[in-house]
Structure 1
Amino acid sequence: MMQTTTQVTHEEYFDLLAKSDVKLEYHAGEILAMAGAQPAHNRLCITLSTALENCLSDGECMVLNSDQLIKILECDKYTFPDVVVVCRKPVYEKSPQGINALENPVIIIEVLSDSTEKYDRLEKFDCYKTIPSFNEYVLVSSKKKRVEVIKKLNESEWLSHTYTEKDEYVLIGDCSISLEKIYNKVELPDIKSIGF
C-alpha cells in the first residue's frame, strides 16, 4: 500500500478514484493505493465468491466482489474488502462521479497477506465494527488452510472460530462451505521451504 502525505477531501478522493487505474482507499483525509494481489489471494476471492453465490442465490442476500467500495462513516474511511455479502436492500452513498459506496454490508471477507494482515485484524476490524449492519468478519489465510470466522454476539462481544485442515466445512453466515472448495486449485507455499 502506498500512502499520500497531503490531506484530501471526499470530493477530491472520488475525483481521483474515478480516474485511477488502481484501487484507492480513503483513510480520514489520506489516500492509499492498493497493490496488486498474489495468485493465491486472487484465487481465494474467486472460490469464496462462487461458493457464497451458490449458497445465497435464492435468498435475500447477495455477494459483491473486491470492486465494491464500502463506506465506514465513524472512521471516515472508504475501503475495498475482498468479498462482501449484503442482505435485504443495499444502501449506497452515491458520489457525483457515479461511484456507489455500500453502507450496509453484513459479512466482510478479507484474504490475508503479509503486508495487510495486522491492519486487517486490528484497525480495519475496529472500523468495520462501527457499521451497524456488519455482523460477521471472515479472515482467510493464503499460506495454509485456515479460515477464521468472527461473529457478532452483541455490541461489545464477538465470538471467533478458527477452521483448519482438520475441519471439513466452514460456516459463513448460513452457508456451510467445504474447506476443500475454498482452497480448490489454490497454490499454498511449501511450509518446509519457507522455514516454518
Structure 2
Amino acid sequence: MQTTTLVTHEEYFQLLAKSDVKLEYNSGEIVAMAGAQPVHNAVTANLIAEFIYCLKLKNCVVLTGDQLIKVESCDRYSFPDLVIVCGKPNFEKSTQGIDALLNPEIVIEVLSDSTEKYDRLEKFDCYKTIPSFREYVLVSSKMKKVEVIKKLNEAEWLSHTYTEKDEFVLIGECTVLMADIYNKVDLL
C-alpha cells in the first residue's frame, strides 16, 4: 500500500521557493513538472511574441509559464504555459514572495504526450471554476493544430479547432498566423 504525505499551502510555498523545478500543488500533493522539449519551447516563445505584439496597445498583460495561478475551488496551484489578463491582475501573496495569479482570463497550454490528458481534462475542469476564466487554448507540439475553447456561459463552452489548412487562429482579441505560431519549429 502506497501512502502519500500531504503538505499545507505554506509547506508547498517553502518547497517551491527552494526548488530548481516547477512544482504544482493539487489538494496537498506536490507534482514536479518536467522540463519541456525544444519544439514545446519554440511554440511557446512564438506565442509570447505574437501576444505581446498584438496586445501592446491594449489593457492586457501576457504572463509566461513561470506565473503560478491559483484555482481556489480545486485547491490547486499550477503553471500554465501562457496566461493573458486584461485589466488589473490580482495576486495572492505568499510569505515566500511567490505571487499566485487569481484572475486569469485566457490560459494557453502547449501539449506534450505526458501532459495532454491532464491539460485537457483535469486542469480544464478546474480552470472552468475561476470566474474570470473565459478562454482555453490547447496548442499541439506535434502538428499544426490549435484548439480554442471559449466560454459561452456558466454551463456551455464552444470549441473551434484550427489546423494547417487554416491561415489564421483567433485567440481572444488577437488574430495570429498559424505559420507564426509554428515559425522555425521544423528546424528542431
**1:188 to partner: Cα distance:** 8.3
Q: Does 1:74 align with 2:61?
A: no
Structure 2 partner of 1:194: none
**Partner Cα distance (1:11, 1:137) in 2:** 29
Amino acid at match of 1:147: V
The answer to whether 1:97 aligns with 2:72 is: no
Query: Following superposition of structure 1 onto structure 2, how do residues 29-44 of structure 1 map, counting pairs within 5 Å?
Result: 29-44=28-43
CA contact (8 A) 1:83 1:108 kept: yes
Per the alignment, residue 122 of structure 2 pairs with 123
Query: Sequence identity of aligned pairs in percent?
Result: 72
User: What's the C-alpha RMSD, in Å, of the aligned pairs?
Assistant: 1.2
Cα distance in structure 2, aligned partners of 1:55 and 1:49: 10
Q: 1:125 to 1:12 in 2, by over 3 A?
A: same
1:144–1:188 Cα contact (<8 Å) kept: no
Counterpart of 1:7 in structure 2 is 6
Q: Which runs of 5+ in 2 are unaligned?
A: none
Q: Which amino acid aligns with 2:129?
A: T
Length-normalised TM-score, structure 1: 0.93
Looking at structure 1, the residues matched to 182 and 137 of structure 2 have their Cα atoms a distance apart, in angstroms, of 15
TM-score normalised by length of structure 2: 0.97
After TM superposition, the structure 1 = structure 2 runs for residues 1-196 of structure 1, keeping only pairs within 5 Å, are: 5-187=4-186
**Distance across 2 between alignment mates of 1:187 and 1:30:** 37
Q: Quote how far apart the aligned CAs of 1:91 are.
A: 0.2
Post-superposition Cα deviations, 1:95-136, rounded to whole Å, max 9, x if no partner, equal: 000000000000000000111101100010000000000000
Separation (CA, whole Å) in 2 of partners of 1:49 and 1:127: 24
The whole-number CA distance in structure 2 between the counterparts of 1:144 and 1:128 is: 25
How many correspondences in the alignment?
186
1:19-59 CA distance string (max 9 Å, x none): 00000000000000000000000011100011011000111
Distance in 1 between residues matched to 2:48 and 2:171, nearest whole Å? 12
Output the CA distance in 1 between the equivalents of 2:118 and 2:10.
25
Q: 1:188 to 1:152 in 2, by over 3 A?
A: farther
- Runs of at least 4 residues of structure 1 off by over 3 A? none
CA distance in 2, matches of 1:35, 1:188: 23
Cα distance in 1 between the residues matched to 2:29 and 2:131: 24
